[in-house]
Chains A and B, each alone.
Chain A
Amino acid sequence: EDKVVQSPLSLVVHEGDTVTLNCSYEVTNFRSLLWYKQEKKAPTFLFMLTSSGIEKKSGRLSSILDKKELFSILNITATQTGDSAVYLCAVCGNNRKLIWGLGTSLAVNP
């Protein structure tokens, strides 16, 4: 059965800290892995990764995929209180549906 596992489930840090969120997967016919940020409403798109070893970067956020070891990490440097959210990882399989992890709840304290 296809599955996506995120860790940790929750994390509390102080402003300025760097965090690493993990996403491992077992999905038949992997196509891509996506990261989303969900605050109070619906998820907002962060990154889509399809190739191993190529870092995607957007400001203080970056992500990389390892298709051999079947995982991805999302890094956030110099965290701010506005980074507090649930970060969701999803994997797209051959049927083009997204298989979702449970998310990592990040709280950044001032």
Chain B
Amino acid sequence: GAVVSQHPSWVICKSGTSVKIECRSLDFQATTMFWYRQFPKQSLMLMATSNEGSKATYEQGVEKDKFLINHASLTLSTLTVTSAHPEDSSFYICSARPLGTPDTQYFGPGTRLTVL
């Protein structure tokens, strides 16, 4: 149980284009999903908290107009990197918190984004 999927697992795009990453909880419902970014050999950096049916809460320093988050249902959240630049290249990971388990987060497999 507690499986989270992410799609795509890797993507290469040109500078200036937008990229959408999907995060789905496959066997549970999640009112809250989280989006992280991870640079090589560094720990996870929380970008935003996504609550179903409401606006995402962004961490300090994360541009909400650049990283658009939509949490349309209890099993799906999307992150769109708009007008991507090479410095946006990173490993993006989502996690989902099941209903009734207030602290535990289950992670998707991550999306490797490379912007040329």
Q: Tell me whether A31 and B109 are in contact (CB under 8 A).
A: no
Cross-chain pairs A/B with CB under 8 angstroms, 13 sampled: A41-B109, A41-B110, A43-B107, A45-B2, A45-B107, A88-B43, A92-B102, A96-B103, A98-B103, A98-B105, A100-B43, A100-B44, A102-B42
Nearest opposing residue in chain B for A102, CB measure: B43
Q: A68 in the interface, Cβ–Cβ < 8 Å?
A: no
Q: Tell me whether A97 and B49 are in contact (CB under 8 A).
A: yes
Kindly state the interface size class of chain B when it binds its partner: 20 to 34
Contacts of B107 in A (CB 8 A): 36, 42-45
Contacts of A32 in B (CB 8 A): 103-104
Q: Tell me whether B110 and A45 are in contact (CB under 8 A).
A: no
Q: Tell me whether A101 and B43 are in contact (CB under 8 A).
A: yes
Q: Contacts A97-B46, A98-B46: A45 and B102 contacting too (C-beta < 8 A)?
A: no
Shortest beta-carbon distance from B103 to chain A in Å? 4
Within 8 Å by CB of A31, from B34, B103, B108, B110, lies: B103
